[in-house]
Structure formats: C-alpha cells, structure tokens
Amino acid sequence: MLTLRRRCGNSVVRIMVTERCDGDCAPLDGSATPTLTVLRQVHGTRVVEVTRPGGHQGTCADAAWTSALQATLAVRTADCVPVALYGADANGDGAVAVIHAGWRGLLDGVVPATLAELRHHGIRDVRAVVGPHICALHYEFGSCELSAATTALGPSVAARTSWGTPALDLREAARLALRSHGAVIDREIERCTASDERYFSHRARGERGRTAVLIRLEPKPWPERPVSDSEQEREATGATTERFTSPLGRLEADPEGEAPGD
Ligand SMILES: [Zn+2]
C-alpha cells in the first residue's frame, strides 16, 4: 500500500492506495467501522456530500466529498481511474473528495461535477492524486465510443493498443478533465492495472477483485510541526491481512504505522 500525507489548510490529508496484497476491497459490507464511506459505484456523475464520518455508506454515486475530520472516503477500482482530491477554503478549513472515473463517467463529466461541487463550497487550490488504472496500450476501445470520447474530451485521448487497435487513454482523459477545471495534479501513480499484477484487472484478467483509494482529513499533529518530506510519502509493505476479505474496515480503523508522536 502506498500512503501519502499532505498538508491541507489547517489539517493534514492522508491518502491510501491499496494493492492486491492488502486484500480484495470489492465487498461493500467489508466496512466494520462507522467512519468509512464506500460508495455503490454505478458509472454515473452523482456527487454526494458526506457531512459526518460514515455518511452515505453504500449510496449510489461515483464521487463523494467531505469537510468532516476523520471521515474516510473510498472508491474501489480495477482498471477505472480512482482520483483523490484535497483543498481548503479561505479560512484554511480543508475538504477532501474521491472520484470513481471510468470511461463513461469521464465522458459524462464526473470530474468537473466534483470540482464544481468543491468550488461551490469555497474550496480552492484543489490538488489531485490519480491512482493506478489501465494504460492506453492495454485499453482497446470501440471506434464509435472513441469518437464520442474525442468529441467530449479532446483528440489527445485517442491512442493505440500495443497490438495496434484503437484505444482510449484514460490517464490523459482524467488529466484533461482535472486541469481544464482548475485542479493541479499532485501525483499520478503511473502503474497499469493490466500489466502490473499488484493490482486487479477486469479487462486483462477478468478479475472481480478491487483495490481502493481512501482519503481522510485529519487534525494537524499537535504540537504542530511540519510534515517532513519523508513523511509526505511512504510505501508500506508486508501487509498481514488475510487475503480475499475486504480490508477497508481495517484500513480505516488502523492508522497504519503512524509515526511516533503523531
Ligand atoms: Zn498497460
């Protein structure tokens, strides 16, 4: 699992990107904790506001945002693009969001819908972390759908697979949607779910398992001290969860190797 920490206004943001070895996050009932929100993803553009930890658990939506401290938001993917967003308002109060962005959601505007919602609530300087997803070389796409995608998103989303057929570049599509609506890309995790077996792939291997991206707003460490570079990014290895049970509840409950003094 990759864990990122970022300063965000008066808070700190923790972003967790799971891998296959952390367990299968597909089961929706994997949450045993009351502070986790896992959406029932339907490839739509609905964005929900989570006003308390655990709010909207199981709601049909593909994006969620919150300004509530300690509310963990999660999206689950295998090839689609998971996006985590964070920003703060003029008072330094932070907000975080997650987006499940498949090709349909990208075409229909789930990314701008989420950014508009944050903007509407005064959240600015929004930054994005783009999680692992299928790369263009492995994402064959029908010509008709591809022409709809280039019309909606721009010609640069059209690509070719490694075997020479039309492909959709989901990374470019997410990049364009984020940048053209005011978000700055903090980090792209450039790992392809089809070729990197640390992740599940529906397309390449017909897998039903899902990895997850989780984001949570946390109080600043007290006494206040800067988040060091080494703390901002840390790769945790050697997860000990039993495989094939949803680890989401455990991840949410366990701050996962918090540095002493935090
Ligand atoms: Zn690939």
Alpha-carbon dihedral 171, 176, 178, 184, rounded to 10 degrees: 90
CATH class of 2-253: alpha beta
CA 51–ligand 1 middle distance (angstroms): 37
CA 118–ligand 1 middle distance (angstroms): 31
Task: Tell whether the model's pLDDT for residue 104 goes beyond 80.
Answer: yes
CA 184–ligand 1 middle distance (angstroms): 24
**For residue 240, what pLDDT band results from cuts at 50, 70 and 90?**
very low
pLDDT of residue 31: 55
CA 87–ligand 1 middle distance (angstroms): 30
CA 190–ligand 1 middle distance (angstroms): 10
The CA distance from 262 to 4, in Å, is 15
Q: Which residues surround ligand 1, an ion (CB under 5 A)?
A: 135, 137-138, 192, 194-195
Q: Which helix (H) or strand (E) holds 214?
A: strand 211-219
Nearest to 75 by CA among 12, 110, 111, 26: 26
Mean pLDDT of 61-90: 97
- Output 221-228 pairs: Cβ under 8 A, ≥24 positions apart: 221/12, 221/261, 221/262, 226/7, 227/5, 227/6, 227/7, 227/12
State percent of the chain over pLDDT 70: 84
CA 55–ligand 1 middle distance (angstroms): 35
**For residue 241, what pLDDT band results from cuts at 50, 70 and 90?**
very low
CA 249–ligand 1 middle distance (angstroms): 30
CA 191–ligand 1 middle distance (angstroms): 8
CA 196–ligand 1 middle distance (angstroms): 8
Task: Tell whether the model's pLDDT for residue 239 goes beyond 60.
Answer: no
CA 261–ligand 1 middle distance (angstroms): 40
Question: pLDDT digit string (tens) for 162-187?
Answer: 999 999 999 999 999 999 999 999 99
pLDDT averaged over the chain?
88
pLDDT of residue 108: 96
Mean pLDDT of 158-165: 97
Task: Tell whether the model's pLDDT for residue 245 goes beyond 50.
Answer: no
CA 64–ligand 1 middle distance (angstroms): 27
Mean pLDDT of 192-208: 96
CA 176–ligand 1 middle distance (angstroms): 19
Domain ranges of the chain: 2-253
* DSSP letter assigned to residue 113: H
Question: pLDDT digit string (tens) for 203-236?
Answer: 999 999 999 999 999 998 765 566 665 556 655 4
The pTM score is: 0.89
Residue by residue, what is the 3-state secondary structure of 38-64? ECECCCCCCEEEECCCCCCCCCECCEE
